C-alpha cells in the first residue's frame, strides 16, 4: 500500500515582518512545519505500524530551503520524500493543488492520501481536499487530519540521523504544468496587516 | 472555443482581464443549505441566506437554495419562507458523489456565485466542487464587495493566524465559490405569505 502525506511549510511569524510599503510579508528564518503537518505524519506512521507492506512518502510544494521540513518528515519514519520546487504564492490553492496532483500522477497515484486540515495559515486546508478530488480519491482513500487529532511522537536522535540518508526526490513545478496550465484563476486584490 | 459556453469551466478559456462577457451566461447565486438532525435550518444556513439575498440586491439575479441527502425533500419545506427564488433538492440517484452531482448541475446552470456554510462538510464539499469545476474558492469569508463591472466578488478573509486580512478575487473562472464565516451573514426575514417553489433534480 502506497501512502502519501501532504505536508506544508509556513512562515515563522515570530521572526517575519510585514512591509506596509511593499504590502508583503518579509519572511525571515526558515519556514516551519505547522503542528497540523506533524499530526499528518503521526497518522501516516500509525497506518504503517498497523499494516504490512506499506510504503510511505511525504510530499511538499515549496522552495529548496524547505527541504529541511521534508527531512523532518523523514525523521518521523516515512520512507521517502518529494519536493516540488515552485515559486507559487502561499495563497493559491488552485495552482498548488493542480501541481501536487500532477506530481502524484507522475509518481503514482497513492492508495491512501493523508492531508492536514486548516492550519490557520492560508486557504483553510483546501489544497489537500482539491488534490483528492483531482485524483478521484473518495473518502475511503483520503484522510483529512485536523490539528490536535493525535499526539505526534517526537523523533529521537537516531531517527533524525537516519532521515539524512533517506531518498528525497525533486520535481520542478514548471515541468509539471506548462504554459497556460501554469496559471491561476484568482488574484489577491488587497492585503492589510493586523499584526 | 467561443462556441462552447462551458469551456471556461474546464479551464480552457483563461483570458487576461476576463470579464462577464467571457463567462457566457453565468448568473445566479446558489447556496448549499444545511439543517440540524430534526430538519431545522442551522444558524449558518440562515446567515448564508441573508448574505446571498443581500448580495443579490446588487446583482439583480436569483438565489437558489440547494439541499441534498435522504430527507432533503422533507427538510426543504423548512426553507420555503426565507425569500429564496427556488429550493433545489438533489435526489440520491445513480450512486455518484454529491460533488459529481453538484458539478453536473453547475455545468448545466452556470451560476456565478456558489456559497457554502462554514462547516466541516461545507468546506470539504466546496473545495471538491471547486477542484472539479476548476475554479477559485475562498474559505471563511468575512466580507464581500461586488465589482459590478465584472460581477466579481471581492472576498475578504483572515490568514496567518488572523494576522493578515486578505481580499481575493476569482477573475478567470465561474462560479466563484466561498464559505461564509460564522457571524458574517446578514439578518434574514421570514415571510409567512410567500413560499419558495421546490424543484427536485434528477441528475
B63 in Cβ contact with B51 (< 8 Å): no
Check B179 against A124: CB less than 8 A apart: yes
Q: Which member of B14, B132, B156 has the closest CB to residue A133?
A: B132
Per-residue confidence in pLDDT tens, chain A, 195 aa:
999 999 999 888 889 888 888 877 888 888 899 999 999 999 999 999 999 999 999 999 999 999 999 999 999 999 999 999 998 876 789 999 999 999 999 999 999 999 999 877 777 789 999 999 999 998 889 999 999 999 999 999 999 999 999 999 999 999 999 988 888 888 887 888 898
Cell for B147? 465589482
Residues 6+ apart with CB under 8 A from A133: B99, B127, B128, B131, B132
- Measure Cα distances from B104 to A16, B10, B146 in Å: 44, 12, 26
Nearest to A171 by CA among A94, A112, A98, A86: A86
In A86-185 the beta strands, taken as DSSP E runs, fall at 112-116, 142-145, 167-172
- Measure Cα distances from B118 to A49, A127, B103, B131, B152 in Å: 35, 16, 19, 18, 21
Q: H or E segment at A25? A: strand A24-26
Residue window 62-121, chain B: list those with CB within 8 Å of chain A: 97, 99
ipTM associated with this complex? 0.91
Q: Which member of A93, A133, A184 has the closest CB to residue B99?
A: A133
Give the C-alpha separation, B76 to B196, whole Å: 10
Check A191 against B134: CB less than 8 A apart: no
For Cα atoms B7, B20, B88, give the angle at the middle one, nearest 5 degrees. 70
Give the C-alpha separation, B62 to A3, whole Å: 44
State which residue of chain B sits closest to A92, comparing Cα positions.
B136
Q: Which member of B130, B163, B166 has the closest CB to residue A13?
A: B163
Amino acid at each position: 500500500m502506497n501512502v502519501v502525506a501532504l505536508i506544508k511549510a509556513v512562515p515563522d511569524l515570530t521572526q517575519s515582518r510585514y512591509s506596509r510599503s511593499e504590502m508583503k510579508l518579509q519572511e525571515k528564518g526558515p519556514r516551519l512545519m505547522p503542528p497540523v503537518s506533524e499530526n499528518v505524519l503521526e497518522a501516516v506512521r500509525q497506518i504503517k505500524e498497523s499494516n504490512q507492506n506499506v510504503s510511505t512518502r511525504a510530499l511538499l510544494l515549496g522552495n529548496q530551503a524547505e527541504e529541511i521540513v521534508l527531512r523532518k518528515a523523514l525523521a518521523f519514519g516515512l520512507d521517502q520524500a518529494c519536493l516540488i520546487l515552485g515559486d507559487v504564492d502561499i495563497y493559491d490553492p488552485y495552482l498548488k493543488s493542480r501541481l501536487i496532483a500532477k506530481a502524484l500522477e507522475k509518481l503514482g497515484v497513492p492508495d491512501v492520501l493523508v492531508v492536514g486540515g486548516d492550519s490557520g495559515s492560508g486557504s483553510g486546508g483546501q489544497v489537500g481536499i482539491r488534490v483528492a478530488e483531482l485524483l478521484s480519491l473518495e473518502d475511503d482513500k483520503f484522510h483529512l487530519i485536523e490539528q490536535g487529532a493525535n499526539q505526534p511522537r517526537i523523533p529521537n536522535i537516531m531517527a533524525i540521523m537516519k532521515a539524512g540518508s533517506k531518498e528525497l526526490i525533486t520535481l520542478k513545478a514548471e515541468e509539471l504544468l506548462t504554459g497556460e496550465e501554469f496559471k491561476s484563476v484568482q488574484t489577491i486584490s488587497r492585503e492589510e496587516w493586523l499584526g | 472555443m467561443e462556441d462552447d459556453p462551458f469551456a471556461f469551466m474546464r479551464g480552457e478559456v483563461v483570458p487576461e482581464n476576463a470579464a462577464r462577457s467571457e463567462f457566457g451566461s453565468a448568473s445566479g447565486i446558489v447556496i448549499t443549505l444545511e439543517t440540524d438532525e430534526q430538519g431545522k435550518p442551522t444558524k449558518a444556513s440562515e446567515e448564508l441566506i441573508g448574505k446571498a439575498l443581500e448580495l443579490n440586491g446588487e446583482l439583480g439575479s436569483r438565489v437558489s437554495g440547494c439541499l441534498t441527502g435522504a430527507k432533503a425533500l422533507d427538510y426543504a419545506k423548512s426553507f420555503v419562507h426565507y425569500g429564496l427564488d427556488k429550493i433545489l433538492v438533489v435526489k440520491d440517484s445513480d450512486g455518484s458523489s454529491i460533488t459529481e452531482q453538484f458539478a453536473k448541475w453547475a455545468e448545466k446552470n452556470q451560476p456565478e456565485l456558489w456559497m457554502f456554510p462554514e462547516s466541516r462538510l461545507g468546506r470539504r464539499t466546496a473545495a471538491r466542487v471547486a477542484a472539479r469545476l476548476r475554479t477559485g474558492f475562498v474559505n471563511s469569508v468575512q466580507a464581500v464587495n461586488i465589482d459590478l463591472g465584472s460581477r466579481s466578488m471581492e472576498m475578504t478573509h483572515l490568514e496567518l493566524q488572523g494576522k493578515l486580512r486578505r481580499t481575493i478575487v476569482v477573475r478567470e473562472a465561474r462560479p466563484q465559490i466561498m464559505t461564509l464565516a460564522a457571524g458574517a451573514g446578514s439578518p434574514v426575514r421570514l415571510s409567512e405569505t410567500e413560499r419558495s417553489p421546490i424543484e427536485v433534480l434528477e441528475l
